Amino acid sequence: MTLPNPAAPPGPSIFRNWLSLIGLVVVVGAFFSFVLLLLLDLSSSGGNPYVGILAYLILPLVLVIGLVLVGLGLVIARFQIARAGGGPFPPLILDFSRPRARRTLVLFVSGSLFFLLFAAVASYRSYHFSESVQFCGQACHTVMHPEFTTYRHSPHARVACSECHIGSGAAWYVKAKISGLYQVYAVLFNKFERPLKTPVKSLRPAQETCEQCHWPQKFSGDLDRVYPHFLSDKSNTPFTVRLSLKVGGSDLTRGPVGGIHWHMNVGNWIEYIARDELRQVIPWVRVVDQQGVVTEFQTPDFKPDPGRDVVRRMDCMDCHNRPAHIFQTADEAVNMALSLGLLDATLPFVKKTAVEALTRPYATKEEALQKIATAMHGQYRQDPRYRRTIDEVQKIYLNNFFPEMQTSWKVHPDNLGHLYFPGCFRCHDGEHKTADGKQEIRASDCTTCHVILAQGAGEQLRQLNPQGLAFEHPAGDVGAMQCHECHTGGGQ
Ligand code: HEC
Ligand code: HEC
Ligand code: HEC
Ligand code: HEC
Ligand code: HEC
Ligand code: HEC
């Protein structure tokens, strides 16, 4: 603080310079805008990501720039005055016996306290804002739009992005912010990938994210699941499968240890090597059980490649890799809409027409919506139900297809199951054997993981068979081929 020395004659003041004045205007402007936006943000419940970005990220930055300008102005002015022979500057004398000095001091201290309070509120709010779903999901709208949309229709719609993507602890917070800086750069300079890459290599292990909420040993027992399907014939013949899925558990005090969640028994250690980015090709698996017995399974053509092979420990995300961003296949979404009556199953060929309209390549959302309408118009314009059919198919498109990011189910394989992607059959395919060939990862038997309680349509679905039925494939016997080789999700 330079207080003017009353003894010295009034000379040129370093306070009188344009740069500091502009800085001061910027500081005051930013400060009042911040207070206004803070009140706005606190009073509205929904929250708008742009208010957040402006209030907690941009305005504090503007304020700091303003302060820097003020300081810079002072330094330059002092330098100029000194050069013009205006110096030397009188020494700073603080004489608190003078009321003017006391007033200035009070003003200075209360100003500083006010500013510190402001900085504390701003940084606290900035921290929370940078962890919020709004910031992660809505701020860079185009980039995150596919993940955000599908997240909002997932079982985790109320779980914050940061709970899975960052988790707790300062180290991961800092790591996330550093990678966030790169992401901001990528968005500003249009350098991001389309579609975004999976798997996210920097994702924390499930033990530190999923397992903070989910107890891995939980006993789930058998889960009853119904999968509605419709064929692509003229009458959209329904074919529903009702399964009892043996999810099981791994806590002996709650039920038998085994079933699908056997993999998660804390005593088991399952590791594997994947040969592709998306972890779809798994030629080698190793199990270390509770007693420490090691069993290695491999496919006949597997050759170790120590320079390239990375051994990964299996966790929740090797099956539940899409717990929040569930891109439905065209088949699945249309089947669901038909089974709920949103699409009318009495419209001839509606399954086939809808799936075809959804899966054609489109460059933009607008083009897609328009061409979907044209396709439906061509097929059904004589029918009074056709407007509703168009609306429904367009809705499916908006929820699952994102042409701007080149994103749909096709680029994000779902590993839970085996119909549209290899999923469980990446290991359970009958090819993975021990070196002596005596033991294999169980596969051939369809009842290892589930029993079919009922299948077909109408009356057939009302008679449950607890022993399990043999699967009656609607298109006849398919031999040893895997389901996903024909069922791509976009009609077959
Ligand atoms: C329940 C946990 C969970 C929540 C909540 C969650 N994610 Fe994810 N996210 C995942 C998993 C798991 C992956 C896939 C990781 C992998 O395979 O490497 C993923 C992948 C992604 C990807 C990479 C592209 C892709 O689709 O695979 C992005 C981007 C992403 N999430 C953004 C978000 C945003 C934004 C939110 C909040 C709106 C969010 N996530 C909420 C678990 C979650
Ligand atoms: C912040 C807590 C939280 C975290 C972290 C979390 N979940 Fe969940 N998860 C939930 C809640 C709550 C539900 C139940 C939602 C419901 O049924 O309404 C749930 C449901 C599920 C379900 C059942 C889904 C269904 O279809 O019913 C699965 C599977 C699941 N979570 C897997 C995961 C995986 C995998 C991760 C890590 C990537 C994860 N969760 C992380 C809270 C969490
Ligand atoms: C080997 C694959 C696999 C692994 C690994 C796995 N799960 Fe699952 N899980 C499944 C399958 C399959 C289901 C049944 C899915 C369905 O309902 O369609 C399931 C169901 C669930 C459910 C719903 C069950 C209920 O009681 O409602 C939750 C929650 C869940 N898993 C959480 C987890 C968590 C947490 C982990 C990691 C500790 C994990 N799972 C690991 C395959 C797996
Ligand atoms: C990374 C490889 C791998 C993947 C992927 C995988 N498993 Fe397994 N699974 C194994 C191994 C190894 C065993 C132990 C050998 C055996 O029992 O055949 C096993 C055993 C099982 C068992 C028998 C458990 C018991 O009670 O002994 C079931 C059930 C099972 N898996 C279901 C599934 C389901 C369902 C999926 C897909 C959601 C799946 N697995 C995905 C490797 C895998
Ligand atoms: C390694 C475990 C495993 C084996 C072996 C297995 N399945 Fe499945 N199957 C699953 C799981 C897990 C699901 C549930 C997927 C989901 O919830 O999305 C499933 C789902 C299904 C469905 C319903 C799919 C849908 O989306 O409509 C059918 C039908 C089916 N299985 C048939 C078979 C037949 C036939 C065989 C024997 C050739 C077989 N499964 C062997 C794990 C297995
Ligand atoms: C050789 C190719 C092929 C293989 C392999 C195959 N399917 Fe199919 N599947 C078809 C055809 C073709 C249809 C009739 C599709 C239609 O009319 O839309 C069909 C229809 C179905 C349907 C009902 C309609 C639908 O498309 O949703 C189900 C369910 C089904 N298959 C399950 C399976 C399961 C489970 C497996 C693996 C055990 C499997 N399929 C393997 C070709 C195959």
For residue 274, which of 317, 307, 312, 321 has the smallest C-alpha distance?
312
State whether the beta carbon of 322 lies less than 6 angstroms from ligand 3.
no
Ligand closest to Cα of 151 equals 1
Q: Is 145 in the pocket of ligand 2 (CB under 6 A)?
A: no
Per-residue 3-state assignment (H helix, E strand, C coil) for 193-244:
CCCCCCCCCCCCCHHHCHHHHCCCCCCCEEEEEEEEEECCCCCCCEEEEEEE
Cβ 326 under 6 angstroms from ligand 1 = no
> What are phi and psi for residue 287, nearest 5 degrees?
-115, 130
Asked whether residue 491 carries a pLDDT value surpassing 70, the answer given is no
β pairing state of 269-273 and 450-456: unpaired
Look at strands 238-248 and 221-230 and give their pairing: antiparallel
pLDDT digits 0-9 by tens, 419-441: 999 999 999 999 999 999 899 99
| pLDDT for 2 | 47
Q: Is 488 exposed, middle or buried (0-12, 13-18, 19+ CB in 10 A)?
A: middle
Share of the chain above pLDDT 70, in %: 95
Atom 5, ligand 2: which residue's CA is nearest? 210
Distance, CA 87 to ligand 5 centroid (Å)?
87
Nearest-atom number in ligand 5 for the CA of 225 is 17
Going by CA atoms, what residue is nearest to atom 11 of ligand 3? 247
Q: Which residues line ligand 6 (CB under 6 A)?
A: 229, 231-233, 239, 241, 331, 419, 473-475, 478, 481, 483, 485-487, 492
CA of 454 to the centre of ligand 4 (A): 24
Cα(77) to centroid of ligand 2, in Å? 61
pLDDT in tens, 34-67: 888 888 888 876 566 677 778 887 888 898 999 9
CA 139 to centroid of ligand 1, rounded, Å: 15
Task: State yes or no: pLDDT of 396 exceeds 80.
Answer: yes
pLDDT band at 275 (very low <50, low <70, confident <90, very high): very high
What integer is the mean pLDDT of 174-178? Answer: 80
Burial 55-67 (b: 16+ CB within 10 A, else e): bbbbbbebbeebb
If you take atom 34 of ligand 3, which residue's CA is the nearest one?
316
Residue 175 or 405, more confident: 405
Q: How does residue 268 score in pLDDT terms, banded at 50, 70 and 90?
A: confident
Ligand 2 nearest-atom number relative to CA 212: 5
- What's the pLDDT band for 384 if we cut at 50, 70, 90? confident
* Cβ(427) – ligand 1 distance below 6 Å: no
Most confident among 163-172, 265-274, 445-454 (mean pLDDT): 445-454
Structural domain spans, the chain: 18-96, 134-203, 221-323+414-486, 330-411
- The values of phi and psi at residue 205, to 5°, are -60, 150
The residue that leads in pLDDT, 221 or 43, is 221
Q: What is the pLDDT of residue 235?
A: 97
**CA 208 / ligand 5 centre spacing (Å):** 29
Question: What proportion of the chain, given as a percentage, has pLDDT over 90?
Answer: 56
Q: Does pTM surpass 0.85? A: yes
469 pLDDT band (50/70/90 cuts)?
A: very high
Please give the Cα distance from 153 to 146 (Å, whole number): 11
Secondary structure of residue 184 in the 3-state scheme: helix
Distance 261 CA to ligand 4 centre (A): 8
List the single range of 18-32, 249-263, 332-346, 348-362 with lowest mean pLDDT.
Answer: 249-263
Residue nearest to atom 31 of ligand 1 (CA): 147
Q: What does the pLDDT read at residue 428?
A: 95
Question: Does 247 sit in the ligand 3 pocket, CB within 6 Å?
Answer: yes
pLDDT in tens, 86-136: 766 777 777 888 888 889 889 989 988 988 887 788 778 878 887 888 888
| pLDDT (0 to 100) of residue 1 | 43
pLDDT at 390 over 90: yes
Residue 10 has what pLDDT?
55
**pLDDT category of residue 11 using cuts at 50, 70 and 90:** low
Query: How far apart, in whole angstroms, are the C-alpha atoms of residue 403 and residue 332?
Result: 19
Q: How far is the CA of 320 from the centre of ligand 3 (A)?
A: 7
Q: Atom 30 of ligand 2 has which residue's CA nearest to it?
A: 323
Tell whether the torsion through CA atoms of 470, 476, 477 and 482 is positive or negative. negative
Q: Please name the residue whose Cα sits nearest to atom 25 of ligand 2.
A: 155
Cβ 244 vs Cβ 236: under 8 Å: no
Cα separation values, 328 from 250, 272, 317, Å: 30, 27, 18
Closest CA to 246 of 481, 455, 445: 445
Point out the ligand nearest to the CA of residue 207. Answer: 3
Pick the ligand that lies closest to the CA of residue 228. 5
- Measured from the alpha carbon of residue 176, the closest ligand is 1
